[in-house]
Amino acid sequence: VMVDLNPGSIPGVSAVAGSIFGGDKKFLVESCGDLVLVDMYLSVGPEDDLGYNEALEFYEEFDCFMSERTVKFKVFRLDRGRERWVEVSHLGDTILCLGDNCTFAASASELNFPGQGNCILFTDQFFHDREDDGGSKGNGIGVFDLESGSIGPITSYEGYSESFWPPPAWV
């Protein structure tokens, strides 16, 4: 929805697009003048469960021993004219950065970023907890590559973790 707050008039509310269902956590990001919705999918359970919940009761009994982890993302761009969200399969040179209290988009080439664009950097406690060195360079940051669909800790991507040390404020 969009809230219209014109001075001297009654605030108006209008729908700008239908809802996106699925995913577990949603982020809004402004990217090159477009409004982008990022849908994060989470899983709770052992790392090798691949998101299957055949034994949900088992997981509920031991939920205090498991941590939530991000397993994939879907990205949508708002088509204002058609009033709908359109799924995006490629971000070009753009990197989306998602934190709990901050989201933004940046150009990989303008930042002289060691990697390419077309990825999402995000905070994720699952990766922080797994760091053998106390999380000094990983600091709970994951990387999702839109082209391959691969996801992993930032330390798995050469040159990335050095760009985020010390950790930026959005982490």
DSSP label of 8: T
The 10s digit of each residue's pLDDT in 134-158 is: 444 446 788 999 999 999 888 887 7
Measured CA to CA in angstroms, residue 140 lies from 24, 73, 113, 116, 118 at distances of 19, 17, 19, 20, 20
For the chain, percent of residues with pLDDT exceeding 70: 70
Closest C-alpha among 88, 86, 81, 103 to residue 16: 81
CB neighbourhood size of 90 (10 A): 10
Do the beta carbons of residue 107 and residue 116 sit within 8 Å?
no
SS3 163: helix
The 10s digit of each residue's pLDDT in 25-51 is: 999 999 999 999 999 999 876 555 544
Is 73 a residue whose pLDDT tops 90?
yes
